[in-house]
Structure 1
Amino acid sequence: MNPYDLNPRFKAQYDLNNQEFSISGIMRPQSIDELAPSIAVLKDSIEHVRGVLYVNIKRLTQMNNTAFQTFSRVLIDACRARTDLKFVIITSSVAGWMTKKFGRLSGLEPNIAVEQYDSAFYPGQSFLEEGGFIPILRTQTKMTWRHERTILPRHGMQSGIVMADICCGIGDFAVLVQKEFQPSRIVALDHSRSSLAYARSVAAAFYIRGIEYTYGDASEMLLDEGQFDLVTCRHSLQVFDKPELILKELFRICKPGGRVYITNEKNSHCLGEPRADSIQWTYNEVAKLWAYFKMDIELGPKSRRYLAEAGFEDIRVESFMVTNQDGDPQDFADVVAAWENVYAGEMAAKRGDPPAFIRRFRQGFQDHIFAALHPKGYAGWPIWAASGRKPL
């Protein structure tokens, strides 16, 4: 996502992951020239999108006729130039004028639909699993993708390869890879049928081809050995009590000379300022909580050892810090809020933690959110990316 601060009153941006162009703020230009940067973002979005472009105006509080007519003309012209493209304009029930005003466009062009926002509208909002964690997984991928798109070529990613994405979850990483690098084939495997159904729906909506979503157990995959140039497994080894079994399978399906790419975290290194002490205490406790359930959210720096013990050579390890400076700080805050709900809610309750502990545990997450949104604050979440080559 590349935000453009167009004016103190409004902002336009494009989210590649969700194929969503959004406008927020107060848009009351005195001349069309004031809209030039935002129109450029919209036109660039239209040029690169496939299938459906979502136009999100939920946070647009005011819009005069100059802005409405200018944006409407771009959308109508695009419909006539590209009959393969559909637009869905997302309005808010809070501002009733949106639906009425933009509803006129759907009467002019059949490829423009106007949807008032609610939980049934968009798959990322309506599809629920594990307490509704799916939408936040998309936000996490959006945040890490800014770094990984640069990192991946150093770990074997290139155009035309045959790739497997194991423990693919909701499938958004595979979609981004297909768009950016265009492998000849991607097999994306996960053990969750509902996540795979979601992934297939997103790929279909965005007209993505070349991804085969398949159900399977990562520790015993029904995939032939030695068939993939690159095998990826992101944020997944850390949730298994025996990650070496997963790595054994990743090694097996990788071609000799191919690479296996993994990402994992070290949550105790999450940081923030101000309120650093509270934040540090909570993330140290997150590591202990995961260990109680036989998971290792500290696995990131151990990646080199795991890859070496699995038989890989030419092992490459690097780390990056996802921060509140990567795009919209609210995205970072939303991710932390989701962590709080799961870790200080479901997991801590299941472990039987007392109320006093949970209150302090939650406070650290809330302080991390405070740091992320503070105008002078800094909040970070570290990720380790590593890969190894299967010997010839």
Structure 2
Amino acid sequence: MIADSISQGFQWNFNENDQEFSLHGSLRPQRSEEMNSCISALESSVSSVSGRFYVNVRRLVRMNNVAFHAFAGKILDLVRGRSDLKVHVTTSSVVGWATRKFAVLETMSENITVGEYDNEFYPGQTFLEEGGFIPILRTQTKLTWRHERAILQRHGLEPGLQVADICCGIGDFAVLLQKEFQPDRLVALDHSRSSLDYARKVATDFGIRGIDYVFGDASEMLLESDQFDFVTCRHSLQVFDRPELILQELLRICKPGGRIYITNEKNSHCLGEPRSESIQRTYNEVARLWAHFNMDIELGPKSRRYLIDAGLEDIQMESFMVTNLDGDPQDFADIIQSWEDVYAGKMAVERGDSEEQIREFRQGFQDHIFAAKHPRGYAGWPIWVASGRKPK
């Protein structure tokens, strides 16, 4: 949710994935009534969450007393009206006045905490120990969820099912599933203990119950056969050198008549304007790079064949394009930058690319960022969705 500004240069937005309400720009109303739409949006956002709610003011350059009293007063009203609600205000050491101003709220309610972005952990934090990629994964989920919320319903997900999210990563998709579809049971499995620790932390902070986070190998899961109505595995078959082994396990744990839902990419179809030629050249190279490490970032359109070969029936398939128009273009740009850091960084170096090759490789990512942030530009990242039913 993104709002129009009270005055030029100010806006707010609510990130459901992070349970975070953010303020941006300069907020200097002359009368408290000018804050009504912002306050209303804050109330609406809080009504849809449980547990810890984050208020992010680190990009708020200015805030006069009229705005502060209206906004801070509403935060106090909200925590006093709900004993289960805890609010954390995230400020920045760069904008020192915000920490001093909002710190007073901590003295007025034990359910309000204030911390500087540079020092405190929270789900949207930019850098985490052993988890620099975490915020990018969360941003990716935020952008894809805009599309997948409706797609999942078309592929058979509905409330009350037994659901498994395999290769769940940091668990943000599982949280959204739990909130939106309220499954009767939800198991989220991954092979990364640090990712699962993070997932459990977020679920606890958000007051999310009902997700059973499990450590395990997706190719040899210690889960009983024939127990889930709906099994998801997103952006994961493409990173395994033998995706058919993962599919066999997904099929095994799925009930007869249940569905398996997968998403994968075809990175060579990433696009952007302007500078399309450089962008196309770079993402063609991404496909070759992944193939060098026995991974298939081009797997997306092949999903139907994989599901048929696995023995699934009633195959449904569609694709969608995540773009710079899906929200804040900077979010899309941040994803591209993370790709550059990993692909043109560690992976290209390990492949043995020369400095000149890496410079050219990096330029394409920067051109994609340029397209994403250009006022008349367009940038896209395509994703393929496929699902199939396990025979009865």
State the TM bucket, normalised to the shorter chain: over 0.9
1:124 CA drift (Å): 4.5
2:9 corresponding residue in structure 1: 9
Distance 1:59 1:174 in 2: 29
Distance 2:134 2:101 in 1: 32
1:83 CA drift (Å): 1.2
2:112 corresponding residue in structure 1: 112
CA contact (8 A) 1:127 1:198 kept: no
For residue 165 of structure 2, give the secondary structure of its aligned residue in structure 1: strand
Q: Deviations over 1:344-372 (max 9, x none)?
A: 00000000001111111000000000000
1:34 corresponding residue in structure 2: 34
Q: Deviations over 1:314-342 (max 9, x none)?
A: 00000000000001000000000000000
1:128 CA drift (Å): 3.5
1:177 corresponding residue in structure 2: 177
1:262 corresponding residue in structure 2: 262
1:221 CA drift (Å): 0.6
AA paired with 1:230? F
CA contact (8 A) 2:18 2:123 kept: no
AA paired with 1:82? R
Q: Does 1:192 align with 2:192?
A: yes
CA contact (8 A) 1:12 1:22 kept: yes
For residue 260 of structure 1, give the secondary structure of its aligned residue in structure 2: strand
Q: After superposition, where does 1:1-392 map in structure 2 within 5 Å?
A: 2-7=1-6, 8-125=8-125, 126-129=127-130, 132-392=132-392
1:123 CA drift (Å): 4.7
For residue 94 of structure 1, give the secondary structure of its aligned residue in structure 2: coil
Unaligned runs of 5+ in 2: none
AA paired with 1:215? F
The 1:267/1:119 distance shift into structure 2, 3 A limit, reads farther
Instruction: Please say which of residues 34-43 and 19-28 is displaced more in the overlay.
Output: 34-43
TM-score (norm 2): 0.98
CA contact (8 A) 1:6 1:37 kept: no
> Identity rate of aligned residues, in percent?
66
Instruction: Please say which of residues 282-291 and 6-15 is displaced more in the overlay.
Output: 6-15
CA contact (8 A) 1:167 1:191 kept: yes
Distance 1:62 1:142 in 2: 28
CA contact (8 A) 1:168 1:233 kept: yes
1:236 CA drift (Å): 0.0
For residue 163 of structure 1, give the secondary structure of its aligned residue in structure 2: strand
CA contact (8 A) 2:267 2:381 kept: yes
1:127 CA drift (Å): 3.3
For residue 90 of structure 1, give the secondary structure of its aligned residue in structure 2: strand
Distance 2:28 2:119 in 1: 30
For residue 160 of structure 2, give the secondary structure of its aligned residue in structure 1: coil
TM-score (norm 1): 0.98
1:32 CA drift (Å): 2.4
AA paired with 2:2? P
1:95 CA drift (Å): 1.4
CA contact (8 A) 2:234 2:262 kept: yes
Unaligned runs of 5+ in 1: none
AA paired with 2:300? G
Segments ≥4 residues shifted beyond 6 Å: none
Distance 1:322 1:67 in 2: 35
Distance 2:129 2:261 in 1: 28
Distance 2:167 2:22 in 1: 30
1:36 CA drift (Å): 1.8
Distance 1:203 1:164 in 2: 16
Q: Deviations over 1:67-93 (max 9, x none)?
A: 101011111111111011011001111
CA contact (8 A) 2:282 2:361 kept: yes
Distance 1:5 1:353 in 2: 46
AA paired with 1:22? S
